[in-house]
Chain A
Amino acid sequence: MPEISQLSGPEAVRVGFYVCHCGTNIAGTVDVKALAGYAASLPRVAVSREYKYMCSDPGQALIEQDIADHKLNRVVVASCSPLLHEATFRRALGRAGLNPFLLQMVNIREHVSWVHLDKKAATEKAQDLVRAAVQRVALHKPLQKRRVDINPSVLVVGGGIAGIHAALTLAEAGKQVYLVEREPTIGGHMAMFDKTFPTLDCAACILTPKMTAVGSHPNIKLWTYSEVVKVDGYVGNYKAQVKHKPRYVIDDLCIGCQECIAACVYKEGKTPDEFNLGLSMRKPIYLPFPQAVPQKVVIDRDTCIEFKSGKCKKTCVEACGDRLAIDFKQKETFDEIEIGAIILATGFKTFAPERNPYCGYGRYPNVYTSLEVERLINASGPTAGEVILRDGKKPASVGIIHCIGSRDANTNRWCSKVCCMYSLKLAHLIKEHTGAEVFNFYIDMRTPGKGYEEFYDRLLDEGVHFVRGRVAEVSDWAVHPSEEGKLVIRAEDTLAGFVRRIPVDMVVLSVGLEPQSDAQDVRRLFNISCASEGWFLERHPKLAPVSTFTEGVYIAGACQGPKDIPDSVAQAGAAAAEALALIDAKSVELEPYTASILEEECSGCKSCISLCPYQAIAFIEEKKKAYINEVLCKGCGTCVAGCPSGSIKQNFFEDEEIFEEIEGVLAYA
C-alpha cells in the first residue's frame, strides 16, 4: 500500500474542503462551522470553507477561485448525494483546470442530516465521513472519460398512446424507430375508450390518425405481436433481440379484407373477445377491432380447430384464395436490432376487482368494471353503444363506485389519478345514453387539471348524484320491498352523517391502475428499477421524470405511474426529446470506472474470467496473462474483488482508495 507521505514533496497534496449548508437542510442538523473547523485541522487540507449553497454559481465559483489561489489539487465537497451533484462539482473542477476525478463527495444530507435528529451524533458522523474522504481523495488519480459513438436508432416498447406519440416524434425528426407491441394491434387502452375527458372528444377520432401514421411512416418499423426478449450493450450502443410470435397469417400477404373471418367454420364466435373484455365473442381467426393497425388478421391457436384436431375444412384458406396469406406452419422468428436509446411505454393494467370481496364483482352479473362500461358505451363495442345489462334491459339507476383498488390499505395505497375524472365522464355518458339516475360514491373528488373541475361542476348541474363515502358493500340483500331484485350499495354518507342504502340496477366499479403483471420481468430485461409498488422508477421524481438510472433508457406513460392521456403524451414527447438530445450528440462519454490488469502481478490463474458477466476478460495465451477489454467492461469491480493476487485495479475504486476510506471512517479511535 503506498504511503500517503510518498505523495508529499514538490507535488504535495493540497485539499480544498467545502461544506454546504443547503439552507437549513444540512446546517439544521449538522454543525457545519464545527465541521469546517474540523476539516481544517486534518492533514493536507489547505482550505476549508462552509457556504450556504455550494451547488449555486457563487458556490462553484468559490471552489474554482480557491483552486487557482491556493493551488489546490484535490477537492472534497460535503453536501448532498453524489448522485445529485457529483457531475456539477466535477464540472467546476474541470473549469478550473483540474481533472474532474480529483473530487470526492461526502453525502451529509441524505445520509446524515435528513436521517438523524441528534445534532452531536450527526456532526460526529459527518466528521468521520469527511476524514475518510480527505484521506481517500489524496490517492485519487486523474482519469479520462471514454467517448463512444451513438447509434441513432431508437427502440420504443409498447404501442399505446405514449409509445405511439414517442415513435412518431422520433420518426418525424428523421430517426429510425422500432416500435414493438406484444398485442396484434397498437392502440393500447386508449383504443378501448369511447370518449375522453373533459372535452368528450371521441377517443377513436383522435387516436386512429396517429395509429395509421405509425403504420405507414417510412421511419417506423412496426412490429406487433412481438416482444423484446434480450437486451445487451450500453448507452448509445444497445442490441436487442425481438421475438415475433406467429400470427399464422403472413403479414405481407394479408390485405385485411377479413373474408377469412366470415368464412371460418365457426358460424358464431365462441371465444371471449379480449378487446371487448369478454362482453362479446370472437372467432379463432379475428381482427382485434375494426381500426386495428396493422390491418392483419391473427389466428388464435388455442381455439382454432385446425390446431386442435388438424381436421378442419380450412374454409379460411379457401376464402383467402390465391393470396395465400394463411400459414398454419408459421414459427416464431427473431430479429436482432442495434439502437442507441430505448423508450419504455409499456402501460398499466386495471385492478382486478375480484380482489375486493365486498364490491360483488363476479358474484352479481350487473356489477361491471369501468373499462367494460367503456366498451358498452362505445359505438363499435359489443352492444353497438347501448348501455344495457346482461339481460338486455336498460338500467334505470346506476351506481358508480370510486377507488376500487385505489387508496385502500388492503390492496393498493396509491390514488390512480384518472378514476375520478373517468367516473364523471362515464356518469355523463350513461345518463346521456339511458337517462338513468346516476350515483357517484367517492372518497374525495380529485379533479386537478385543465378544465377538469369545470367538468365536475357541469356534472353537478346535470343532476348526477354524489355521495361522499367509501362503499362498504354491494349486495342483493333487500331490507325494503323497493330493494327487491336490485343491487344495494351501502355506504356511510360522510356529509349527511348516516349510513345510506341505495338500490340500483347497475354497479360500475371505477377500478384503479396497476403496474403490468410482468413489470418486474421487463425492468430486469432493460436493467432499470421499480418503485416498491412496481411502477418503473424515474431517475428523479421532479427533475428527471422520464430518465432512468440506466443511461439511454427512458420511460413514458403509465408504466411510470398512473396518468391520463395528456400526461402520457407529454411524457412521451419528453422521452422522445431526451432520446433525441442523446443521439444527436453523436457520441457519449462513459464513466471511466473500468478495471484493468496489472500485468506484472497477474499469475494467469484465470479466476477472474468466469467472474465477468460481460465476457470482457480474455486470457492471452502467449503471455499467460489476463486482459480486460475496456470497451466491454462496465465497471462493477467484481473481478477486482475476486483476484487472488490483487492484480486487477478499478479506476476510482482502487483497493488503496477504499482502504483509506474504511480506515478513515474508523480513525477516531
Chain B
Amino acid sequence: MLSRQPSASETSQAKFEPRIVAFFCNWCTYLAADLAGTSRMKYAPNVRVVRLMCSGRVDPQFVLDAFAHGADGVFIGGCHPGDCHYQEGNYKTLKRYHLLKRVLKEMGIEEDRFRLEWISAAEADRVRTAINQMVEKVRDLGPLNLELKDLENAYAEEVLV
C-alpha cells in the first residue's frame, strides 16, 4: 500500500523520538508481537514492552508511574472481549482504562498518549499498525512535559480519593 512520505517540514524538524511503555498480555498481544517478529514486519522502535500474564494485571499505578518516569505514551494490549485467557480480565482492563482516561485528562495528559487495543495472537499486523499510529500521534504531540512535582501531588490526591 501507500507508504507515506514524510513532508519536508517533518524531516527538517529536530527529531523527537517518543518513549512509549506497553503492557502486553502473555496470551494474545505478546504473542502477536512475537508473530510480527517471526513475520519480519517492521515498525517504529519506540515502544518498550512489559509482559504481564493478563491485561487485567495492569494496575492503574503502572500507567501513572510510567508517565511520571518520562513515558510519552502508554499502550495496553489485551485479548479481544470474550477471548481473555482468564475469561474476563480484559473487561476489568476496559473499566480501568475508562477511569484512567478521565484521570489523565484532568492531569493534562492528552488522550492520544494512552491507548488500549485488543489484539489477538494472530493479529501481528495490528501490532504493527497500532504501534506505528501511536508513535505518529505521540510524535505530533511532542514530549510530555509534566512538572514531576505537580504530577506527584496530583497522583497522591488521586490515590487518596
Interface of A toward B, CB cutoff 8 Å:
81-83, 107, 109-112, 114-118, 121-122, 124-125, 128-129, 132, 524, 527, 529-532, 537, 549-550, 593, 611, 613-614, 634-638, 640-642, 650, 653, 655, 658-659, 661-663, 665-669
Contacts and interface: CB of A to CB of B under 8 A. Distances in A.
A82 B53 CA distance: 12
Given A129-B48, A662-B65, A110 B38 contact: yes
B31 A636 contact: no
A659 B50 contact: no
A636 B48 contact: no
Most buried by B among A112, A129, A636, A666: A636
Contacts of A111: 33-34, 37, 49
A532 to B, nearest CB: 4
Given A638-B89, A641-B59, A662-B62, A532 B123 contact: yes
B41 interface: yes
A234 to B, nearest CB: 11
Contact of B48 (A125, A530, A613): A125
Q: Which 9 A-B pairs have the closest CB atoms?
A: A110-B37, A637-B57, A638-B56, A636-B86, A636-B54, A665-B48, A613-B87, A114-B37, A532-B122
B57 A666 contact: no
B42 interface: yes
A641 B57 contact: yes
Given A115-B42, A532-B123, A640 B87 contact: no
A635 B53 contact: yes
B71 A655 contact: no
Given A125-B48, A636-B86, A637-B53, A665 B21 contact: yes
A640 B37 contact: no
Given A116-B45, A549-B31, A653 B57 contact: yes
Given A114-B37, A114-B38, A115-B43, A593 B53 contact: yes
6 contacts: A116-B42, A529-B27, A636-B57, A641-B60, A653-B52, A665-B48
A117 B42 CA distance: 7
A540 to B, nearest CB: 10
Contact of A666 (B26, B30, B71): B71
Interface in B76-125: 82-83, 85-89, 92, 96, 120-123
A326 to B, nearest CB: 40
A666 B85 contact: no
Contacts of B69: 662-663, 666-667, 669
Contacts of A524: 82-83
B154 to A, nearest CB: 18
B117 to A, nearest CB: 15
Given A125-B48, A638-B92, A666 B53 contact: no
B28 interface: yes
A667 B48 CA distance: 12
Most buried by B among A107, A109, A650, A665: A665
B83 A636 contact: no
Most buried by A among B40, B43, B45, B82: B45
A527 B85 contact: yes
Nearest to A118: B45
Nearest to A595: B57
Contacts of A659: 62, 65
Given A531-B122, A537-B121, A637-B52, A642 B70 contact: no
B66 interface: yes
A641 B65 contact: no
Nearest to A650: B57
Contacts of B85: 527, 549-550, 636
Given A110-B34, A638-B92, A641-B59, 8 more contacts: A532-B122, A611-B92, A613-B87, A613-B89, A638-B56, A661-B50, A663-B69, A666-B21
A503 to B, nearest CB: 41
A114 B36 CA distance: 8
Given A110-B36, A662-B50, A641 B86 contact: no
A619 B69 CA distance: 37
Nearest to A83: B34
Nearest to A532: B122
Contact of B88 (A613, A661, A665): A613
A115 B41 CA distance: 5
Contacts of B59: 640-641, 655, 658
A274 B151 CA distance: 67
A498 B1 CA distance: 31
Contacts of B26: 83
Interface string B10-23: 00000001010100
B9 to A, nearest CB: 22
A86 to B, nearest CB: 10
Contacts of A642: 92
Given A110-B37, A115-B40, A634 B86 contact: yes
Contacts of A593: 53
Contact of B28 (A109, A529, A637, A662): A529
Nearest to B49: A111
B118 to A, nearest CB: 13
A666 B66 CA distance: 8
B50 A658 contact: yes
A549 B28 CA distance: 10
Nearest to B33: A111
Contacts of A122: 45
Contact of B57 (A124, A527, A640): A640
A202 B61 CA distance: 65
B130 to A, nearest CB: 13
Most buried by A among B41, B49, B96: B49
A636 B89 contact: yes
Contacts of B92: 611, 638, 641-642
Given A122-B45, A641-B96, A665 B34 contact: no
Most buried by A among B37, B70, B83, B120: B37
Most buried by A among B42, B53, B54, B61: B53
A648 to B, nearest CB: 10
B86 A662 contact: no
B58 interface: yes
Given A107-B49, A111-B49, A663 B65 contact: yes
Contact of A641 (B41, B56, B128): B56
Contacts of A668: 19
Contacts of A658: 50, 52, 59, 62
Nearest to A529: B121
A82 B37 CA distance: 13
B62 to A, nearest CB: 6
